[in-house]
């Protein structure tokens, strides 16, 4: 596999999913061994958040502890290096991630759009309240705090199964896709949202589009021009290597 020749691109957008963090030892949400598949696990959606907020908080506390023990792997590091070398030439790499584990930032990536929120923030549960999300201390455990503005309970700043993406990351993602000239999706299914929508926008903008994943697309998405099968931590360092 050859390098992409990253230096030829000006506006690079990379979408990452759970597959990129597997080599760091983090379980995926779904699939074998995933957190949602464990005995007694429930799908965490907006109604579980209402009916059993303590359980939702403790699940996310557990995931945060796992994420803190994990280390970024070669795929996370390759993306951080690529961003840096593009920035040195006045180009950009925007990282859109479905992951909530914070590993991209710990690897050194700066321009990260967290589509599904973060394990390391809480936000006010009152939809009418406009207070910004709050960072959690690393030592945080389980206790629900109250919003400093309206007094409502704070909740994980995570997009649950039946909840829409927050407006800001959705806007940032769309804006980056409108002007991108290279789009790479890694460790996520190319045929379901958001990858399936994002690649349409990228292809419409005239970008070269590539899917890197373990599994081949079935059926293939017509807007992905290339597909590279393999583990993110093996493929990305070579693909993103500077000439
Ligand atoms: Zn509030």
Considering the domain boundaries, does residue 233 fall inside one? yes
Q: Kindly give the interhelix angle for 195-204 and 167-178, rounded to the nearest 10 degrees.
A: 40
The side-by-side arrangement of strands in the sheet containing 154-158 is 134-135, 117-124, 154-158
Has residue 208 been placed in a domain? yes
Ligand 1 centre and the CA of 155: distance in Å? 10
pLDDT average, residue stretch 206-211:
98
Mean pLDDT of 200-229: 94
Residues 170 and 56 in one domain: no
Do 39 and 112 reside in the same domain of the chain?
no
pLDDT-derived band at 161, boundaries 50, 70, 90: confident
Number of domains in the chain: 2
Provide mean pLDDT across the span 172-182.
97
SS3 state of residue 199: helix
| Residue 14 and residue 52 in one domain | no
Q: How many angstroms does the Cα of residue 196 sit away from the middle of ligand 1?
A: 34
Assess whether 175 and 206 both reside in one domain: yes
**154 in any annotated domain:** no
| Same domain assignment for residues 207 and 171 | yes
pLDDT, mean over the chain: 89
Are 84 and 193 found together in one domain? yes
Asked whether residue 106 falls in the same domain as residue 220, the answer is yes
**Residue 20 belongs to a domain with what CATH number?**
3.40.50.1220
Q: What spacing in Å lies between the alpha carbon of 2 and ligand 1's midpoint?
A: 50
* 8 A C-beta contact, residue 196 and residue 213: no
Task: Flag whether pLDDT at 177 surpasses 90.
Answer: yes
Average pLDDT, integer, range 34-45: 59
- Residues of the chain with pLDDT > 70: what percent? 91
Has residue 141 been placed in a domain? Answer: no
Residues 174, 208 within the same domain: yes
What is the tens place of the pLDDT at every residue in 118-159?
Answer: 999 999 989 899 899 988 876 666 567 899 999 998 889 998
> Do both 56 and 112 map to the same domain?
no
Can you give the pLDDT at residue 136? 84
Query: Residue 230 corresponds to which tokens in the numbers above?
Result: 């393999």
**Contact of 118 with 100, CB cutoff 8 Å:** yes
Same domain for 188 and 235?
yes
How much distance in Å is there from the Cα of 126 to the middle of ligand 1? 6
Same domain, 54 and 92: no
Give the separation between CA 23 and CA 89, rounded to whole angstroms.
30
pLDDT category of residue 215 using cuts at 50, 70 and 90? confident
pLDDT of residue 43: 64
226: domain range? 6-24+71-116+164-239
Q: Is residue 135 part of a domain?
A: no
- Whether residue 147 lies inside any domain: the answer is no
Positions marked catalytic:
116
Q: Are residues 13 and 42 in the same domain?
A: no
Asked, for residue 121, whether it belongs to a domain, the answer is no
pLDDT band at 39 (very low <50, low <70, confident <90, very high): low
pLDDT at 190: 84
Q: Is residue 95 part of a domain?
A: yes
Phi, psi dihedral angles at 216 (to 5 degrees): -70, 150
| Residue 133 CA, ligand 1 centroid: distance in Å | 10
Question: pLDDT digits over 52-73, tens only?
Answer: 888 888 888 888 888 999 999 9
Where is pLDDT greater, at 49 or 41?
49
Whether 74 shows a pLDDT value over 70: the answer reads: yes
> What is the Å distance from ligand 1's center to 57 Cα?
18
CB-based contacts of 73, cutoff 8 Å, min separation 6? 20, 21, 23, 24, 103, 232, 233
* Spacing, Cα 137 to ligand 1 middle (Å): 19
């Amino acid at each position: 596999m050859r390098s992409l020749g990253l230096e030829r691109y000006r506006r690079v957008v990379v979408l990452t999913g759970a597959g990129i963090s597997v080599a760091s030892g983090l379980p995926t949400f779904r699939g074998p061994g995933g957190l949602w598949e464990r005995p007694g696990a429930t799908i965490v959606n907006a109604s579980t958040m209402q009916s059993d907020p303590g359980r939702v908080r403790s699940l996310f506390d557990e995931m945060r502890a796992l994420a803190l023990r994990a280390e970024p792997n070669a795929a996370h590091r390759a993306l951080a290096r690529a961003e840096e070398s593009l920035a040195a030439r006045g180009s950009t790499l925007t990282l859109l991630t479905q992951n909530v584990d914070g590993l991209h930032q710990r690897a050194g990536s700066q321009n990260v759009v967290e589509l599904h929120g973060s394990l390391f923030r809480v936000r006010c549960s009152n939809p009418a309240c406009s207070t910004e999300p709050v960072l959690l201390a690393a030592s945080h455990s389980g206790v629900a705090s109250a919003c400093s503005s309206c007094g409502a309970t704070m909740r994980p700043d995570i997009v649950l199964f039946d909840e829409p993406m927050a407006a800001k990351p959705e806007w940032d993602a769309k804006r980056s896709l409108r002007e991108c000239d290279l789009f790479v999706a890694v460790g996520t299914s190319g045929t379901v949202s958001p990858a399936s929508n994002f690649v349409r926008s990228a292809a419409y903008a005239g970008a070269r589009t590539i899917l890197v994943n373990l599994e081949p697309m079935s059926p293939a998405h017509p807007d992905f021009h290339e597909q590279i099968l393999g583990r993110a931590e093996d493929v990305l360092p070579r693909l993103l290597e500077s000439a």
